[in-house]
């Protein structure tokens, strides 16, 4: 008998033992399900799952531990899947594990409330939605963009895109747009996506296995969690501040832990102009981070999802975007997916166009991920708005200067609003996260009770904001300058009332 046959026989025997143990485990699970049903106890008990893993992990050799963790987690899933058939607290039509409770989007809900309030009180402050508005309170739509769109022939608008990956000239234009400082020197692949959301979602779903953990900032855009949830991923968070200053220490610590637990790190970094705090890391911190992750990548792959939604609205653009150069220094066991949004750069939110730019030193790594992105795209949205991809290319080739001028005017508006708000916040002692640039500033509130009370109180004063974990986000991008004047002081007074 060949060696492989011997080994296969051994595996068969082990599988028989596992089958017997599996049967025993499920029979016990059945009793637990009956008990839970009788006593009205929920199937899901994450803290018990964690305890079980921690108890048994040391029984397995260290090198197998990450795999044992996955094995045990898969058992929990199967066990809960069965328990739910008994407990009837699942919906039989919907895939197991999906959250089918009503979806409430914090920003969109808050914005609806603000609009209702505005109808009865024109003094209402709508600081809810991340769209750039002029001082008349309406959305900014750049002529340079929509004139270019009008020049796109109707038949082009009506057509499918040139490929699932997007139009080649669009992908190239996006690459050149992001590489304006001419500092990206490693292989790249670009895929057109529906908005930045599509790009981030492609990365999240293709880089991690079910039940693995995605690292995101502790205060972050809410959609990251929704994306993780939809794909049965867990989320862990890192702090981006230390002593109220931007810091990478929290990231380093969590990345090291993650590498130990799952032999792989996938981290979302929303930089520059982080939503919701307005923090920017800058090139020095990026360089230090890449150096650290290079070292860590000797133990396993490291992928950075760099959400650059607000890239073109960095006040200090040259310095805040120069960090892209650091990606050239990534090791062979690292890659980055840079997620670009036309919603933000072109204020074309409704056009739903974005791009995922894969950067990797190994051409093959970039190519493989590119191929998986295309398959996922084919299976979900098929292809991206052809007319608007053409519009971007036209605008850049025919009227880039006109666009940059309009964008600068919008940026100046934003700069002025943030200057007013920040200065007044400092004068009155409204505690903010360290804002540098971008659409939002965030009031720092660590106490959850106080956070809830404060948010409600602001609503009742017709100041509409979005509540985040440990903060109240103020969308300066949407508040006319005259309403920014005195806003920080009013917000501080209301904070004093609820303290």
CB neighbour burial string for 310-321, b if at least 16 within 10 angstroms, e if fewer? bbbbbbebeebb
> Of 23-31, 194-202, 366-374, 469-477, which segment contacts ligand PLP by CB under 6 A?
194-202
Structure-token match 């609009």, residue found: 115
Q: How far is the CB of 107 from ligand PLP (least distance, A)?
A: 8
68 binds ligand PLP (CB under 6 A): no
Residue of 170, 175, 221, 392 that binds ligand PLP (CB under 6 A): 221
Cα distance between residue 119 and residue 385, in whole Å: 34
272 binds ligand PLP (CB under 6 A): no
Query: In a 3-state reduction of DSSP, which class is residue 316?
Result: coil
201 binds ligand PLP (CB under 6 A): no
Q: Would you state the structure tokens that stand for residue 40, as one six-digit string?
A: 């009205």
Look at strands 125-126 and 463-464 and give their pairing: parallel
414 binds ligand PLP (CB under 6 A): no
Q: How far is the CB of 297 from ligand PLP (least distance, A)?
A: 25
Residue of 297, 343, 347, 418 that binds ligand PLP (CB under 6 A): 343
Q: Which residue, 33 or 479, is less far from ligand PLP as judged by CB? A: 479
Build a one-symbol-per-residue string for 415-454: x at contacts with ligand PLP by CB under 6 A, - elsewhere. Answer: ----------------------------------------
DSSP-assigned states of every residue in 24-84: HHHHHHHHHHHHHHHTT--S--HHHHHHHHHHHGGGS-GGGHHHHHHHHHHHHHHHHHHHH
Build a one-symbol-per-residue string for 288-307: x at contacts with ligand PLP by CB under 6 A, - elsewhere. Answer: -------------------x
> Of 166-174, 195-203, 239-247, 475-483, which segment contacts ligand PLP by CB under 6 A?
195-203
Structure-token match 């102009």, residue found: 273
Q: Which residue, 293 or 356, is less far from ligand PLP as judged by CB? A: 356
Q: What are the start-end ranges of the E strands in 298-403?
A: 302-307, 334-341, 354-360
Positive or negative, the CA dihedral 157, 161, 166, 168 is negative
275 binds ligand PLP (CB under 6 A): yes
Residue nearest to ligand PLP (CB): 195
Q: Which residue, 195 or 301, is less far from ligand PLP as judged by CB? A: 195
Length of the chain: 499
CB-based contact 231:388 (threshold 8 Å): no
Question: By CB under 6 A, what part of segment 116-155 binds ligand PLP?
Answer: 130
Q: Would you state the structure tokens that stand for residue 94, as one six-digit string?
A: 């919907």
Element (H, E) at 193: strand 188-193
> Of 3-11, 61-69, 193-201, 283-291, which segment contacts ligand PLP by CB under 6 A?
193-201
Residue of 124, 171, 197, 376 that binds ligand PLP (CB under 6 A): 197
Give the other-Cβ count within 10 Å of 365's Cβ. Answer: 20
> Of 1-9, 20-28, 72-80, 190-198, which segment contacts ligand PLP by CB under 6 A?
190-198
Q: Which residues bind ligand PLP (CB under 6 A)?
A: 130, 195-197, 221, 270, 275, 307, 309, 341, 343, 349, 354
């Amino acid at each position: 008998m060949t060696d492989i046959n011997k080994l296969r026989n051994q595996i068969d025997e082990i599988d028989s033992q596992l089958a017997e143990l599996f049967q025993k485990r499920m029979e016990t699970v059945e009793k637990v399900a009956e008990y839970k049903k009788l006593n009205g106890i929920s199937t899901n008990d994450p803290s018990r799952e964690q305890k079980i893993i921690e108890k048994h992990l040391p029984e397995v050799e260290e090198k197998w531990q990450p795999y044992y963790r996955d094995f045990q987690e898969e058992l929990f899933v199967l066990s809960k899947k069965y328990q739910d058939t008994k407990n009837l607290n699942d919906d039989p039509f919907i895939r197991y594990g999906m959250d089918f409770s009503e979806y409430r989007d914090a920003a969109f809900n808050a914005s609806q409330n603000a609009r209702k309030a505005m109808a009865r009180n024109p003094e209402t402050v709508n600081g809810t939605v991340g769209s750039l508005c002029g001082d008349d309170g309406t959305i900014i739509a750049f002529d340079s963009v929509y004139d270019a769109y009008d020049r796109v022939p109707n038949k082009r608008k009506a057509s499918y895109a040139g490929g699932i990956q997007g139009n080649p000239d669009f992908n190239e234009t996006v690459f050149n747009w992001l590489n304006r400082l001419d500092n990206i020197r490693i292989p790249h692949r670009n895929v057109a996506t529906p908005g930045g959301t599509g790009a981030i979602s492609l990365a999240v779903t293709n880089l991690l296995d079910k039940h693995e953990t995605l690292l995101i900032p502790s205060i972050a855009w809410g959609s990251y969690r929704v994306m993780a949830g939809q794909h049965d991923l867990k989320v862990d968070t890192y702090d981006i501040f230390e002593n109220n200053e931007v810091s990478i220490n929290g990231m380093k610590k969590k990345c090291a832990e993650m590498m130990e637990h799952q032999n792989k790190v996938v981290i979302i970094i929303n930089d520059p102009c982080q939503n919701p705090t307005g923090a920017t890391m800058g090139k020095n911190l990026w360089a230090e981070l890449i150096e650290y992750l290079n070292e860590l990548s000797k133990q396993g792959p490291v992928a950075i999802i760099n959400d650059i939604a607000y890239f073109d609205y960095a006040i200090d653009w040259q310095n805040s975007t120069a960090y892209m150069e650091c990606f050239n220094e990534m090791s062979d066991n690292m890659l980055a997916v840079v997620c670009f949004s036309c919603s933000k750069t072109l204020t074309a939110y409704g056009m739903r166009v974005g791009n995922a730019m894969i950067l990797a030193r190994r051409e093959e790594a970039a190519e493989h991920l590119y191929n998986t992105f295309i398959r996922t795209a084919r299976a979900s949205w098929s292809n991206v708005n052809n007319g608007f991809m053409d519009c971007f290319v036209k605008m850049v080739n025919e009227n880039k200067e006109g666009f940059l001028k309009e964008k600068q005017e919008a940026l100046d508006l934003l700069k002025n609003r943030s200057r007013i708000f920040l200065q007044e916040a400092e004068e009155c002692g409204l505690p903010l996260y360290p804002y540098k640039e971008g659409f939002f500033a965030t009031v720092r509130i660590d106490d959850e009770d106080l956070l809830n009370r404060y948010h409600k109180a602001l609503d009742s004063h017709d100041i509409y904001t979005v509540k985040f974990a440990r903060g109240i986000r103020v969308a300066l991008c949407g508040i006319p300058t005259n309403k920014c004047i005195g806003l920080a002081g009013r917000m501080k007074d209301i904070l004093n009332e609820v303290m």
